[in-house]
A = this chain, B = another copy of it.
Amino acid sequence: MTNHPFDAALRLEPLAHTPGSFSGASSLDYWNMIGPFGGMTAASAMQAVVQHPDRLGEPIALTVNYAAALGAGPFTLQATPVRTNRSTQHWTLLLTQPDAQGADAVLMTATAVTAVRRPTWSANDMPMPATPAPADVAAHKFAPGLEWLNRYEMRLIDGKVPQVWDGREQGSVSRLWVRDAPPRPLDFPALAAMADVFFPRVWLRRATHVPAGTVSITTYFHADSAQLAQSSGYLLGQAKAQAFCNGFFDQSAQLWNEAGHLLASSHQIVYYKA
């Protein structure tokens, strides 16, 4: 842990009364429109698994379901290893905050799988697309307003948020270089967060600024923590939609390190109004 805002936002204090129960707080440093950036919530779930004393192995899968926007202030995060096998471990997670009446309200559910990896034949069948190097792409200056955008350095290659909302249909692919601002060593919580930095594809696809929000995101990890630490620096992120149908669409994303190793593939289903 460092003084980096991401580490401050990730901080979870074990609660004595229940094993795997942690107290955290919504981070204003990562505030989005009506709650913290969803990637930060996914990162908190990942962190609860990573710092759990009974953890076996390293993360290979994380699914986070956003049940409602977190409010400011403290939350409770419960991480439970419900099944531990010889080399894999299955986790369920629940994030709650007191509602207006003081009752615990469920704001997030999640599942995770950790596993002991062993060296095997490996291959990357989704090679990194050819793009300019990070130094050759300008760091984007976002309009003020969404605090979490200040926590990332994003160098947008293509598929930017439309400058004009003219309803013109186009493809939904975005590519960008991304890293924490200021830089920070890469780990699983950071990767879980970066898998969700892509704005809703429907904005790009239709050039229409409709309300939209992630409902559920699943991220698969294709590296161990040593490989992540070696991958600190920029990640190339790519996102693309697949199907839009009556209020929900799915988008898939990939994150490669600069050497072209696919560190994570991620998929989400997103609510949209249209």
Contacts and interface: CB of A to CB of B under 8 A. Distances in A.
Interface string A221-253: 011100000000000000011111111101010
* Main SS class of interface, A: strand
A63 B218 contact: yes
Interface in A247-274: 247-248, 250, 252, 254, 262, 265, 267, 269, 271-274
A205 B123 CA distance: 10
Nearest to A126: B242
A113 interface: yes
Nearest to A248: B60
Given A60-B269, A92-B109, A269-B220, A122 B244 contact: yes
Given A109-B92, A216-B113, A269-B220, A123 B63 contact: no
A23 interface: no
9 contacts: A60-B248, A63-B111, A83-B109, A92-B94, A109-B111, A111-B111, A111-B216, A125-B240, A220-B243
